[in-house]
Structure 1
Amino acid sequence: MTVGRVIGSDAIEDARRRGRLIVEVMPGDIVTALARDSAERLGLKLVEGPVEMPAPVRTDGNTAMRRVLYRRAPKWQAPSRKPRTARRLAKLALIGAGGVGGNIAHLAAMADMAAEIALIDIAPGMAAAAALDLNHATGITGAGCRCVGGETLDMVAGAEVIVATAGRARSPGMTRADLIDVNARVIRQAGEAIRSEAPNAVVIVVTNPLDEMTVEMLRATGFPRERVLGMAGTLDSSRFRHALARAAGVDPADVEAMTLGSHGEEMAPIPSRATIKGRPLDVFLDPAQIDACVTDAITGGGQVVALKKMGSATIAPAHATIELIDHMRGARTGAVPVSVMLKGEYGIDGVVVGVPTHLGDGGLIKVEELRLTGAETTALQDAAEAIRTRLGL
């Protein structure tokens, strides 16, 4: 008689760590109730064994001989097995060295993603102090980047990527739209300097109201849409994933979700495309819980403002900006939500709104048009019309 194994929750956890999708249960094995619960929670399947292995691929003798002779040819080179590596930027410039800009500089320096990081801020000594502080930290981190700081916009010269965070932050009771007039002047001034000093740069706009300020940056620089991006969807999607994970009682890493539309009241989280442990949301959450998570994502920034009293979020926006830069330099792949000027995609033309995109060295590669529900498509188009109205387009 064959003595089977006792498969407990530890075996299920080990299978998950190894990246397995199934756990083979052989005749005579005993699966504990806790193990079954763990498998259900982690999305692993318990499959009765023995599992039939796929038959090996057989190659005829002639094909095998041709391959041997080809590899012996003097010009043949073995394919590279090196892992994909991210490109290091020559220079990253940050217009605004406050909460968001300072955190972006810190994260970029820690990751050593640029040979030089330039911080620019009109407050005397602020950018220079932050740069010196970051340079002092390299004795601990070992990062090879050099940080410089100053007060003049000509420091953007030679930058491959420029992040604009400068401008007034929200106070409690203010909407992002309340900042249009005051921050538009800041963006126009920055855009004119970028156009003359860094004509080949890709610009990421973080200043609120983000979609509207991305339009202002496009106007001021005269750059094509591929090189003027608005950071919004990465931050809003992170807030949506956090809300879903907390509601379902899982880790945020178990959640895939995306938020499109505007960075404001017309934000459009996309529940139909979201998953928890690879499954639709309704497997884990009821409709009321999903709606609450959507609301939490939309109001997330306002919640921080209300608690902080003066100023808005700084840490999560910095991480969201780094995510965009990582997509551009090849450290990440796949679709990422970005605010860009649309040219007919999703039935929208001539306005900036957050949509899924693919990014590369030169900024936008393409907009990915997802299949959305009717309500989600309407929400996205409503966001575009609201932005168009606020800008008088």
Structure 2
Amino acid sequence: MTQGRVIGTDTVEDARQRGRLIVEVMPGDIVTALARESAERLGLKLVDGPVEMPAPVRTDGATSMRRTLYRRAPKWQAPSRSPRKARRLGKLALIGAGGVGGNIAHLTSRADMAEEIVLIDIAPGMAAATALDLNHTSGITGAAGRCIGGETLDLVSGAEVIVVTAGRARSPGMTRADLIDVNARVIRQAGEAIRSEAPNAVVIVVTNPLDEMTTEMLRVTGFPRERVLGMAGTLDSSRFRNALAMMAGVSPADVDAITLGSHGEEMAPIPSRATIKGRPLNVFLSEEQVKACVKDAITGGGQVVALKKSGSATIAPAHATIELIDHMRGARTGPVPVSVMLNGEYGIDDVVLGVPAHLGQGGMIKIEELRLTEAETAALHTAADAIRTRLAT
């Protein structure tokens, strides 16, 4: 009789990284409580084994040859992969029903990502009107989730995920840091309501200045760092990928790139990790062109503000927030840039900064430390120092 193994969180994490949906538990195996909790959070099932494997499909030589020749035909296209089965949220609350919040609600409702979507805004009637407008689309989209709008923060009660977009937007000539004092008051009010009404929620902060407001949300709620996230890196990375694609004349789908650091002047696009069609940037672009793309990513938000004259970007930030929620639902896998409190990662302590992290049902699972160049590592530390300075003033 073989001795059973101990199934811990490392076994569950290994299964997730391999893209498996089940963890086989053989007779005699011991499953730790933490492993069960991790499996539930990641959407994996613990299945009693041995699991019966399907019999291999046997194909005769003539059929195999015919299929091989067919795949070599110029018109053949590989079948698209079926999307991952994502978990549906119970209740999603949006504090702020303006441009960003309204677009997040629209995208969430359209994809039927939550059973209930609650919009909250201090402007009389705004949240209720948006909610009603979205409910009117259900006859077209067939979405089953219902939207509710109101003006009081107690509506966050019982929310699984809370997105905070409320606060003053930038005007031309303003930096994100100029909004610290006015928006900190908004975050404090929201954080106090979240702490009392939704103590188990995961909070995503979108309000600018992003890293500083995420720090304030952590302080007010007292939540662990895993459950207070800042949306920035997904948006900044999208802008960086768009700039690289335009410069190289390729589709954005051909570009893989990430941006870390702060959501502001100290933003740190990472060219050393970026690829175009799976190859390094220098195959397609000169050093000067890459620098231009880095600058375009850093100034992307300001470009929108300058064109709008009043207000800032709303559509791209909404899509960037949905990307984080999709990682939490299991619709996407792998590391994603997100602002979190660092505890020694990348040699940085006690500051919120954008880094790649794995997300799950309970928020952040772990931070992934990438191998960066000396200049890129220095940029991260410069961003950390700048955030500390702004918070100290």
TM-score by length of 1: 0.80
Q: What secondary structure, in the 3-state scheme, does the structure 2 residue paired with 1:180 have?
A: helix
* Letter of the structure 1 residue corresponding to residue 78 of structure 2: R
Does 1:277 find its partner at 2:284? no
What is aligned with 1:79? none
Does 1:18 find its partner at 2:63? no
Deviation at 1:237? Answer: 0.1
Q: How does 1:189-228 map to 2 (within 5 A)?
A: 189-228=189-228
Counterparts of 1:83 and 1:219, CA distance in 2? 38
Deviation at 1:84? Answer: 3.9
What is aligned with 1:330? 330
Deviation at 1:83? Answer: 7.1
* Letter of the structure 1 residue corresponding to residue 265 of structure 2: E
Q: How does 1:130-141 map to 2 (within 5 A)?
A: 130-141=130-141
Change (3 A) 1:83 1:186: closer
What is aligned with 1:119? 119
Q: How does 1:196-275 map to 2 (within 5 A)?
A: 196-275=196-275
Change (3 A) 1:358 1:12: farther
Cα distance per residue 1:127-178 (max 9 Å; x no partner): 0000000000000010010000000000000100000000000000000000
Q: How does 1:351-366 map to 2 (within 5 A)?
A: 351-366=351-366
Counterparts of 2:137 and 2:111, CA distance in 1? 13
* Letter of the structure 2 residue corresponding to residue 319 of structure 1: H
Counterparts of 2:83 and 2:322, CA distance in 1? 21
Counterparts of 1:229 and 1:281, CA distance in 2? 30
Q: What secondary structure, in the 3-state scheme, does the structure 2 residue paired with 1:190 have?
A: helix
What is aligned with 1:186? 186
Cα distance per residue 1:307-355 (max 9 Å; x no partner): 0000000000000000000000100000100000000000000000000
* Letter of the structure 2 residue corresponding to residue 293 of structure 1: C
Q: What secondary structure, in the 3-state scheme, does the structure 2 residue paired with 1:243 have?
A: helix
Deviation at 1:18? Answer: 2.3
What is aligned with 2:107? 107
Runs of 4+ residues over 3 Å off in structure 1: 11-15
Counterparts of 2:382 and 2:74, CA distance in 1? 45
What is aligned with 2:152? 152
Counterparts of 1:261 and 1:332, CA distance in 2? 22
* Letter of the structure 2 residue corresponding to residue 132 of structure 1: L
Larger radius of gyration: 1
Counterparts of 1:368 and 1:14, CA distance in 2? 40
What is aligned with 1:317? 317
Change (3 A) 1:374 1:116: same
Q: What secondary structure, in the 3-state scheme, does the structure 2 residue paired with 1:170 have?
A: coil
Can you give the 5+ residue segments of structure 1 that lack an aligned partner in the other structure?
A: 1-10, 21-81
Change (3 A) 1:13 1:234: farther
Counterparts of 1:294 and 1:164, CA distance in 2? 28
Counterparts of 2:105 and 2:83, CA distance in 1? 26
* Letter of the structure 2 residue corresponding to residue 97 of structure 1: A
RMSD value over aligned CA atoms? 1.5
User: Kindly, what percent of the aligned residue pairs are identical?
Assistant: 82
Deviation at 1:197? Answer: 0.1
Can you give the 5+ residue segments of structure 2 that lack an aligned partner in the other structure?
A: 1-71
Cα distance per residue 1:197-247 (max 9 Å; x no partner): 000000000000000000000011000000000000000000000000000
Aligned pairs, number? 321
Deviation at 1:362? Answer: 0.3
Q: What secondary structure, in the 3-state scheme, does the structure 1 residue paired with 2:168 have?
A: coil
Change (3 A) 1:249 1:111: same
* Letter of the structure 2 residue corresponding to residue 141 of structure 1: T
Q: What secondary structure, in the 3-state scheme, does the structure 1 residue paired with 2:386 have?
A: helix
Deviation at 1:19? Answer: 7.8
Counterparts of 1:371 and 1:230, CA distance in 2? 22
Change (3 A) 1:302 1:83: closer
* Letter of the structure 1 residue corresponding to residue 381 of structure 2: Q
Cα distance per residue 1:233-271 (max 9 Å; x no partner): 000000000000000000000000000000000000000
Deviation at 1:303? Answer: 0.1
* Letter of the structure 1 residue corresponding to residue 298 of structure 2: I
Change (3 A) 1:162 1:13: farther
Counterparts of 2:191 and 2:319, CA distance in 1? 23
Q: How does 1:44-63 map to 2 (within 5 A)?
A: none
Q: What secondary structure, in the 3-state scheme, does the structure 2 residue paired with 1:290 have?
A: helix
Change (3 A) 1:245 1:19: farther
Cα distance per residue 1:245-298 (max 9 Å; x no partner): 000000000000000000000000000000000000000000000000000000
* Letter of the structure 2 residue corresponding to residue 352 of structure 1: V
Deviation at 1:85? Answer: 1.0
Counterparts of 1:84 and 1:388, CA distance in 2? 40
Quick check: 2:84–2:332 contact (8 Å CA) kept in 1?
no
Deviation at 1:392? Answer: 1.0
What is aligned with 1:378? 378
* Letter of the structure 1 residue corresponding to residue 332 of structure 2: R
* Letter of the structure 2 residue corresponding to residue 194 of structure 1: I
Change (3 A) 1:151 1:142: same
